[in-house]
């Protein structure tokens, strides 16, 4: 059962109190319910749904309608955690006006509590405008999957001092722009610590080492439901694919061998009614 609703203020307080934040992704009602029951702090309806739910090669093709559809389903199941709606590629990149409009759509039509978008210094004015419009924003820096092709692929970021410094500058610019927290993806662990120390807002890592203010993983990676590729930073807590495959194989066998459905899964009919029916059929 869900506890009290997590708010942006609770997320910010967690850093002050030294409590690590737990964030996972969800894309539909059953996983929204599960994340709620598990008592996580934050649920992200991430555009990673392009890969792990829609079977796309990346996140670039994900659009506003996909996001709203999935956010609505998660929100129905997820009453306790703060629900973050991910802004899809090109929904905030072309103009600040369009960015505010689309951020508003995710909240008004999808029902999420806050939004997340990718980008650092360059996107600080956009973030500031969305925050000013009354929409809480979570930043996302380091490896930004929507622009992975510009970054040379899904690679660790901040390898050298200049690149690492840029990521710290990105975090500071986002903080100044008013984000309530920042997702930091795929950077060396020592840089993760430096970024978390550089800003007051919570830094939630995914492949950023242990010394940040919380962790986020894509649930389908963590439970082994999606294993086309498993990034180095993913810990698989189970391999749910094998369990599902075993169940499907059992069902297939039972259907072919007619051991399913058994009497316990079938409806009965009074003998009298059956006899009467047979007579009627004979004419
Ligand atoms: O879309 C997503 O799931 C994300 C996580 C990788 C943080 O942005």
Would you place residue 282 in the very low, low, confident or very high pLDDT band (cuts 50, 70, 90)? very high
Q: With respect to residue 2, please indicate whether it lies within any of the assigned structural domains.
A: no
Q: Which of 145, 219, 221 to mutate to test the pocket of ligand 1 (most atoms within 8 A of CB)?
A: 145
CA–CA distances in Å: residue 74 to residues 46, 107, 141, 202, 204: 11, 13, 24, 24, 21
The answer on 128 and 19 residing in a single domain is yes
CA angle centred on 22, ends 223 and 64, rounded to 5°: 75
Q: With respect to residue 145, please indicate whether it lies within any of the assigned structural domains.
A: yes
Q: With respect to residue 1, please indicate whether it lies within any of the assigned structural domains.
A: no
Which residues' Cβ are closer than 6 Å to ligand 1?
25, 44, 46-48, 86, 140, 183, 185, 206, 216, 218
As annotated, the active-site residues are 185
Neighbour tally for 45: CB within 10 Å: 30
Predicted pLDDT of residue 228: 87
- Is residue 99's pLDDT more than 90? yes
The answer on 254 and 169 residing in a single domain is no
Q: Which of 117, 139, 140 to mutate to test the pocket of ligand 1 (most atoms within 8 A of CB)?
A: 140
Q: Which atom of ligand 1 is nearest to the CA of 46?
A: 1
Domain extent, residue 200, equals: 8-238
8-state DSSP, 194: H
Prediction pTM value: 0.95
Q: With respect to residue 65, please indicate whether it lies within any of the assigned structural domains.
A: yes
Give the pLDDT confidence of 116-154 residue by residue, as tens digits: 999 999 999 999 999 999 999 999 999 999 998 888 888
Indicate which residue's Cα is closest to atom 2 of ligand 1. 46
Q: Average pLDDT, stretch 25-47?
A: 98
CB-facing half-sphere around the CA of 170: CA atoms within 13 A? 30
Question: Chain-wide mean pLDDT for the chain?
Answer: 96
């Amino acid at each position: 059962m869900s506890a009290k609703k997590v708010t942006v203020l609770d997320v910010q307080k967690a850093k002050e109190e030294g409590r690590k934040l737990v964030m996972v992704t969800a894309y539909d009602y059953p996983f929204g319910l599960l994340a709620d029951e598990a008592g996580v702090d934050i649920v992200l309806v991430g555009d990673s749904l392009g890969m792990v739910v829609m079977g796309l090669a990346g996140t670039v093709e994900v659009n506003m309608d996909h996001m709203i559809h999935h956010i609505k389903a998660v929100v129905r199941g997820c009453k306790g955690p703060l629900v973050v709606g991910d802004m899809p590629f090109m929904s905030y990149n072309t103009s600040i006006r369009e960015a505010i409009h689309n951020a508003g759509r995710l909240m008004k039509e999808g029902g999420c509590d806050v939004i997340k978008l990718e980008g650092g210094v360059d996107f600080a004015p956009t973030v500031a405008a969305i925050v000013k419009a009354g929409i809480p924003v979570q930043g996302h820096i380091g490896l930004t999957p929507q622009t992975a092709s510009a970054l040379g692929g899904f690679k660790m970021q901040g390898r050298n001092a200049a690149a690492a410094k840029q990521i710290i500058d990105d975090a500071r610019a986002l903080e100044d722009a008013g984000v309530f927290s920042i997702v930091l993806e795929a950077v060396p662990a020592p840089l993760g610590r430096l970024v978390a120390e550089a800003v007051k807002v919570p830094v939630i890592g995914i492949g950023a080492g242990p010394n940040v203010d919380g962790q986020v993983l894509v649930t389908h990676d963590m439970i082994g439901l999606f294993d086309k590729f498993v990034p180095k930073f993913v810990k698989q807590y189970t391999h749910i694919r094998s369990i599902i495959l075993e169940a499907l194989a059992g069902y297939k066998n039972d259907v072919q061998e007619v051991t399913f459905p058994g009497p316990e899964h079938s409806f009965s009919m009074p003998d009298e009614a059956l006899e009467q029916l047979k007579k009627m059929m004979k004419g």
